[in-house]
A and B are shown apart, each in its own frame.
Chain A
Amino acid sequence: MGQNGAGKTTCVKMMNGLNRPTEGDVIIDGVNTKEKTTAFIARMVGYVFQNPDEQIFNSTVISEIEYMPRYFKIPEEEMKRRVDRAVELTDIKKYLHTNPLDIPYPIRKFVAIAAVIAAKPRYIILDEPTAGQDKHGTETLASLIKGLEEDGVTVLTITHDMDFAVANFKRIVVMAHKNVIADGDPRDIFWNEEVVQEARIKKPQIGEIAKKIGVGGKVLFCDELVERL
């Protein structure tokens, strides 16, 4: 999390080899990104672009999702399994034979996510997936992240949606001025006023209410707040 321009996107692009560090090293599961090609790193770390239009290039949703497994020459059966899982997680079944460009922008984002899931990387980075999502889209994202976790995939997400971050992540890394300024449990992050100030993030609304009425205990969730009153 962090302000526009804090360095979030640049940082994650280093994790999948799109950017290489000019100084220092980025090491993924013991592999130094400087020593391998981007194609190699990208098999380990999948990155879903902020703007799905920069990523999608096939003429139907299904061919977009099948593209990477086909490229890796994955056996047909395994490919089908992967595609089904990707489609299930992203809830885009009814768009499979549509041209991605004819799909509303927020749903197109799910197409981009499905394409990355089907490539089955060990790590997946989602860059602002919550932007422009409605209630259903946000809920799909939450269950998708949970599903990926069950599949053993580590998910990193850039988001400006505080409620979403608090509800779905165990660890939050805060960036400001091109640097990491905090890293930890959501409770410690959102109740550290210094960090909140410096990174210009905001407590979720329940946290704001708790602060205003002076309830202790780093409250972030509705049921906790109700219980304490």
Chain B
Amino acid sequence: MAFIELKNATYKYPYTKEPALKDVSYSFEKGKFYGIIGENGGGKTTLCNLMRGLIPHFYLGKLTGEAIIDGVDVREWDTAEISAQIGYVFQNPFTQISGIKETVFEEVAMGLENLGVPKDEILDRVCQVCRQLKIEDLIKNNPNELSGGQRQRVAFASIIVMDPETLIIDEPTSQLDPEGTEDVFEIIHTLKGRGKTLVLVEHKIDLIAEYCDEILVMQHGSIAASGPTKKILSDLSVLDKGAMLPGAAIFGHEMQRAGKPLREIPITVDEAAALVAERGKAEWQSRLKTRALATPTGLRRWRTLTSPYSPASGWRLWGRTAPARPPA
């Protein structure tokens, strides 16, 4: 079932000439993990703003077409209700953090307090999320005195603690090191396992390739390409649309160009390694065969090697050799 449905959505920010979104149609289904990639200024964040009602409720400007969230037109949604349904992690953690709380703990707990969640439950949930995001040691610190990376974790924590059904996350890892980035992706992955719908804007294409179900490539305010991750990221034309490709995909195309094609274009490290191994095996077999068929002895050996029965070792079953006769 489509949870968020965009139909010919076009939007222009106030005081601008060009629309930031042009005729965008897409349906986002429940429980899937979507990646939005593409150039800066291509409309990624604007798309997010529309999907959670900041457009048209906070940003003025002109919206045409339809954006239907959970069956109701975005214009009819109440902003408070929509924000309980759809969690949003801002691109800039400096924007997200309230600035009015004196400790990380209070910052993370603020949303739950506003919803009137019982105190014990707040304590439990905040502690759990802080542990998940490895900010336990910071809970007594002032959020305004944290580093960029730490702030980004706190901002993320303060949204996932609310446990919304849908999460829209705008570049959550731009300030994080590789380990922190992987932590964030792991958490997002767990959320998907719990049936959440996820929309992620991200430039780190290697991780997008590994985790997302579907991808949208945004360029000049329109969807330049969309579809299953594997299909989009194995296609070189994505590069012309201003997005990057994972190293594994580039490697796959380079192998093809060098006349050593893999069975398909990989998009992750594991896929690439498996495809290379597969190719190596096929090559070894064909080389052995060519050599074997060249001489009579070789031919005999080749037959012995490939036949399922040999007098010396008996029947070969499932890759193992069964003894010819029981040992004395």
Contacts and interface: CB of A to CB of B under 8 A. Distances in A.
A3 B179 contact: yes
Contacts of A50: 148, 175
A162 B148 CA distance: 19
A50 B276 CA distance: 40
A202 B176 CA distance: 13
A139 to B, nearest CB: 10
27 contacts: A3-B180, A4-B148, A4-B149, A4-B180, A128-B148, A132-B40, A132-B171, A132-B174, A134-B203, A134-B243, A135-B39, A135-B239, A135-B244, A136-B40, A160-B176, A201-B177, A204-B247, A205-B251, A206-B251, A209-B251, A209-B273, A212-B272, A212-B273, A213-B273, A213-B277, A222-B247, A226-B260
Contacts of B177: 2-4, 160, 200-201
Interface in B84-142: 91-92, 94
B54 interface: no
Contacts of A137: 40
B255 A131 contact: no
B29 interface: no
Contacts of A202: 178
Q: Which 9 A-B pairs have the closest CB atoms?
A: A205-B247, A4-B149, A212-B273, A132-B174, A200-B179, A131-B174, A208-B269, A202-B178, A209-B272
Contacts, number: 107
Nearest to A50: B148
B289 to A, nearest CB: 20
A131 B304 CA distance: 59
Given A5-B149, A51-B148, A134-B242, A209 B269 contact: yes
B38 A134 contact: yes
B-side interface size class: 35 or more
A106 B40 contact: yes
B41 interface: yes
Interface string B218-257: 0000000000000000000001001110111011001100
B116 to A, nearest CB: 35
A30 interface: no
Interface string B273-287: 100110110000000
Contact of B147 (A2, A4, A104, A107): A4
